[in-house]
Structure 1
Amino acid sequence: MNILLFASAYNGMCQRVHRELEAENHRVSIELSASEEVMQEAVAQFQPDLIICPFLKHRVPEAIWREHLCLIVHPGIEGDRGPSSLDWAIDMERNQWGVTLLQADEEMDAGDIWATQNFPLRGAPKASLYRREVIATAVAEIKNILLDAIQKPDFRPRPLDYSNPNVKGKCLPLMRQDWRKIDWLNDNTETIVKKIHAADSFPGVLDDIAGNTVYLFGARAEYRKTNAKPGELIGYRDGAVCRATRDGAVWIRQMKMAQHGEKTFFKLPALQVVTQQFHNPEYFEHLGVLDSQVQQDINTEIKNGVAYLSFDFYNGAMNTEQCIALLAKLRELRAHADVRVIALLGGEDFWSNGIHLNCIESSVDPAHESWRNINAIDDVVQEIINMDNKITVAALRNNAGAGGAMMPLACDSVWAREGVVLNPHYQTMGLYGSEYWTYLLPKRVGQHLAHELTTQCMPILAKAAKAIGMVDQVLPEDWELYHQTLQKACEELTKDELFFSTLEQKQQRRVADECVQPLETYRAAELRQMKAIFDNPDSDYHKLRYNFVHKISCGKTPSRLINHTTKEKVLQIA
């Protein structure tokens, strides 16, 4: 089928739907513009058999949905309507939520229902629920509907019927800041965390800290006794700040200053906002580091000879200090006598997305901070490559991009959860890239494919990555089953015969590779390219980074996403 995707951004949902459909041999084209004229032109050029809207914030023009079947992915249960679906589900403490595939119609979210499927609602931030449960459920529904449409020509959708007692959803308005507002004197810790979860990662909860107006993101409950007044800052850790509540405390991982006049701000680690952007940072000079079992961005669990190393950095971005801390933890594990296998888990929502563009943008000298950050992440990759006394496993539970998609290749094995999407390229940010990619990627996929992956800038699914050698094993998508399978496979690697033979082969390969070309020459060549880009104030990187951080759209769909017959053929790896 010819399937056209309308979307407001080429986000994780759109990327996965795109590549999953292509894996099913459908021809897919994408239009990101909100212009009715451009959307109609895309329809006229592509002549789609079906239009799917995986992530659309605006209406489909009537001229299109009256003439073409348009299916909208709505992140809500049957009958749910409105732009704040997940926000309200979290606020109302629903234990079940869902995804509904409905037909575009005159009234928003009120069209005929083609599919609906529910899932258990975790106590997690909105963005985490969207990335894990919503995307997986939406993809399953779309694939099932296409199967039904092909195999069951008599299939008909059903109209939305609020008189049906099984329809539990309803139309709810946009959730505004007056509803999200935290009452620090009366709200308990659980309520505060819930409010911030419902606003993560957009729009955040608008709040005031000692006269500074900020948006709050990334909450974690800390049930510790404190004598501080509710709302008062009591300490910090891993870039997060801790605020007292009436019955405990809450960690805030990220903040964004509210717009002040013409000046706009962007999300940063909360401690950085407090110390660098608050008008009265001296007010908080008494704060110190707090011990916490809750707020630990880097955490290790050692079990049966396996160290499970998680590095749960917000949105997968790794700033210089986080890279230095991760390197220290790797070196600590290298010296740990009881550890034979190190499984690098990444975070709860991303494995890694490489260097931290927001922190770089906020620095006094972005070129210098870019250089510090890329060298720090290169040090991490170097440590993994040279880990000659342990077996390393990149356990890709979630998506990875840019340097974060190259870093797993430094490990001895790469095991990805089914449905994971990788973006192994840098050029969309105007960068050549480092992380030893010129050594690691061709070693796995060959020079030709490495060139295509890094220049065509397309996402790749875990299964397709396995087919070309970028991933070694694809494990089940179910979160619990993935971890059970991972643990069993990792523990198998610790057994004497397999461990020592694998280690010997690894050491021999590294020696052989070093004889062909010293490892550090790859890094030196990559960094020469990167430094030239960093040091050039007119390079595309500085402009693209600024636009990315400030969420400024280029205003048109990238040509690589438009699939017309006259367009140059791109690498077909779904």
Structure 2
Amino acid sequence: MTAPRPLRILMLCHSFNSLSQRLFVLLKSLGHEVSVELDVADSVTEEAVALFRPDLLLAPFLKRRIPASIWRSTLCWIVHPGPPGDQGPSALDWAVLDGQARWGVTVLQATDELDAGPVWASAGFDLRDTSKGELYRHEVAQAAQTAVAEALQRLQAGGLQSGGAENGDRPGPHAPKPHWRALMRQTDRAIDWQRHSTAEVLRRMRSADGQPGLVDQLFDLPCRIWDGHAASAELMLSLPSAAPGSLQAQRDGAVLRRTVDGGVWIGQACLADTAPAPAAPLPSGSPSPRFKLPCSLLFSEQCSALPTRPATLARDPAEWGELHYAELGPPDALVGYLSFDFYNGAMSTHQCRALLAAIQQTNLRPLKVLVLLGGRDFFSNGIHLNCIEAAAHGLGEDGAGSAADASWHNIHAMNDVALALITTTDRLTVSVLRGNAGAGGVFLALAADEVWAHGEVLLNPHYKNMGNLYGSEYWTYLCPKRLGQQGTEQLMRQRLPVSARSAEQMGLIDRCFTGPPSTWDAQVTEQAAWLAKAYNLPERLLRKQEQRASDEAARPLADYRQQELSRMHRNFYGFDPSYHVARYHFVHKLAHAWTPRHLAIHRT
């Protein structure tokens, strides 16, 4: 029996987001020929179909309908983040808000009725009590991979058939009775601080995570809010009593707001279009920022009146904070676990300095192994573009007067963290990627002795997509040690996501973990304990110290840093504005005007 021939698949998406990337990597691994078109306009999509002549158009993330001119002539699949029968544009929002116990993803065929075409495959999952964004990047993405793979098997088993949905002969299970849910409005998830419990507030915030954010008020200014975390009962008891809705403290860029039964930390906010400028010194003519920022940066003057309640590094995990440290194992095989759960994986200058201070604290502990856990959603995505953009609005960290200055400070702070890891030679260091990593975050991970990742993680180990940035974080030292010079050059040119499994095969990382997410922490703990107890650990540390000394004698790390930063200085301060334009488009979420050629191979 001959294997089915590979398909020509055109992916149509609003943006090449995490789900689109996961499916892109899956389709390529299955041997299909894949090209991507961003949904700019119907005429552009029609042109892409004419150029590529796909067997299948796959739409994992759209904000508009596929035009009839396409789905009537080409088989089109929609990846809908809801179980069979669910219809509407806010599927996952409603699931989180309603507290559903189980949810799913459906691959269905595009027809003239939204989300009502024939079902080709579906996959279900248990709904954790977490944000929409985290579910989307983990459970939804995994279920989408499963469902798309099943649908492709069904399609290839039945053979390719001409025509579109009007044939009515596509295989697929019978769909249950449809259930339409309208676009969720802000009134559907509005918070009543005088009535809603902490759990209810979090559910409403989490249903709006990513986009569109939840409309509310902070410091009497209309805004959108994100990134909610429950405050511990111990903390709330230590604060003065206050009315529900009162702002009582700040920590790690977040503000604490009292609820009827506790409190919620609010990490991110964006001024609403109707809000006046914040009470902060703005340069003449500079508009107030209308993009997502840490609350303490956006409302810096107002937050100065709030008491700071820092979280200790080693504490009960129920007490929220961006950094957390714990130790496991006997005194002669002690393992330290340092997590840095920065929102969306972005690391501002202040956050880099906080992480560096935490690493320096762990250096005082008698560890055999230090495990860097990053965050559950992302390990790291490098410098914080939103905080950098804020400097153009008079809100720069450390008084940075321009986006170029803020970029320069941020990349130096990232380099300082990488340098601290590279020069730690009295213990083994391990980076564990529980979530995706991008740009400088990938190379920060490589600064450790070993890099482990969960099998579903994606890496974007390149900088050029952000306005041809050269990159730093000692990548010119770290990457060739793993891939050689030729392999490094090839990796940095390709601009495409790399799966953890592919990264392991090429030698970029050392180990992949498999199995359900519930088993990952146990696997990491087991392997880290084994490293700490290994009989040859002293010999391995001696070799590490000798290698570091040899490398330093051959070419000092300061030389790598100076060479990288000289190129970055041109990106930040030079005549070519590409980086600043790309950052502005990214931060302000401007619609794409065209599809990059490295994605749209049908246009090369």
Query: Aligned pair 1:318/2:347, yes or no?
Result: yes
Matches within 5 A, 1:187-336: 187-222=196-231, 223=233, 224-225=236-237, 227-260=241-274, 265-275=290-300, 281=302, 285-289=305-309, 291=311, 293-304=318-329, 305-336=334-365
Q: Is the 8 A contact 2:57 2:76 kept in 1?
A: yes
Q: Is the 8 A contact 1:237 1:295 kept in 2?
A: no
Q: Return the offset for 1:155.
A: 7.6
Query: Aligned pair 1:437/2:446, yes or no?
Result: no
Q: Is the 8 A contact 2:371 2:430 kept in 1?
A: yes
Deviates more, 1:491-500 or 1:65-74: 491-500
1:72-124 per-position Cα deviation (integer Å, ceiling 9, x unaligned):
10001111111111111111111111111111110010011111111010000
Q: Is the 8 A contact 2:250 2:306 kept in 1?
A: no
> When the two structures are superposed, what TM-score results if normalisation uses the length of structure 2?
0.89
Query: Aligned pair 1:74/2:53, yes or no?
Result: no
Q: 1:178 aligns with which of 187, 201, 218?
A: 187
Matches within 5 A, 1:539-558: 539-558=577-596
Q: Secondary structure at the match of 1:351?
A: strand
Matches within 5 A, 1:395-434: 395-430=432-467, 431-434=469-472
Q: 1:142 aligns with which of 148, 153, 157?
A: 148
Q: How has the CA–CA distance of structure 1 residues 95 and 287 changed in structure 2, closer, same or farther, with 3 Å as cutoff?
A: same
Q: How has the CA–CA distance of structure 1 residues 62 and 528 changed in structure 2, closer, same or farther, with 3 Å as cutoff?
A: same
Q: Secondary structure at the match of 1:157?
A: coil
Q: Distance in 2 between matches of 1:290 and 1:351?
A: 22
Q: What residue number does 1:347 align with?
A: 375
Q: Is the 8 A contact 1:344 1:392 kept in 2?
A: yes
Q: Return the offset for 1:172.
A: 0.4
Q: Distance in 2 between matches of 1:155 and 1:557?
A: 31
Cα RMSD over matched residues?
1.8
- Identical positions, percent: 41
Q: Distance in 1 between matches of 2:195 and 2:60?
A: 39
The letter for the 2-side match of 1:413 is E
Q: Is the 8 A contact 2:97 2:189 kept in 1?
A: no
Runs of 4+ in 1 over 3 A off after TM superposition: 151-155, 158-161, 260-264, 290-293
Q: Distance in 2 between matches of 1:100 and 1:214?
A: 34
Query: Aligned pair 1:83/2:108, yes or no?
Result: no
Matches within 5 A, 1:362-373: 362-363=390-391, 364-373=401-410
Q: How has the CA–CA distance of structure 1 residues 26 and 233 changed in structure 2, closer, same or farther, with 3 Å as cutoff?
A: same
Q: Is the 8 A contact 2:311 2:321 kept in 1?
A: no
Q: How has the CA–CA distance of structure 1 residues 235 and 113 changed in structure 2, closer, same or farther, with 3 Å as cutoff?
A: same
Q: Distance in 1 between matches of 2:496 and 2:310?
A: 42
Query: Aligned pair 1:498/2:543, yes or no?
Result: no
Q: Is the 8 A contact 1:419 1:477 kept in 2?
A: no
Q: What residue number does 2:163 align with?
A: none
Q: Secondary structure at the match of 2:124?
A: strand
The letter for the 2-side match of 1:249 is G
Q: Distance in 2 between matches of 1:63 and 1:554?
A: 22
Q: Distance in 2 between matches of 1:210 and 1:346?
A: 32
1:338-396 per-position Cα deviation (integer Å, ceiling 9, x unaligned):
x2111111112111000001001102321111111111110100011111011011101
Q: Is the 8 A contact 1:258 1:264 kept in 2?
A: no
The letter for the 2-side match of 1:44 is A
Q: What residue number does 1:165 align with?
A: none
The letter for the 2-side match of 1:442 is P
Q: What residue number does 2:279 align with?
A: none
Q: Return the offset for 1:287.
A: 3.0
Query: Aligned pair 1:35/2:64, yes or no?
Result: no
Q: Return the offset for 1:406.
A: 1.1
Matches within 5 A, 1:88-127: 88-127=94-133
Matches within 5 A, 1:510-521: 510-521=548-559
Gaps of 5+ in 1: 163-168, 568-574
Q: Distance in 1 between matches of 2:72 and 2:170?
A: 19
Q: What residue number does 1:485 align with?
A: 523
Q: Return the offset for 1:442.
A: 1.3
Gaps of 5+ in 2: 1-6, 160-168, 276-286, 313-317, 392-400
Q: Return the offset for 1:316.
A: 0.2
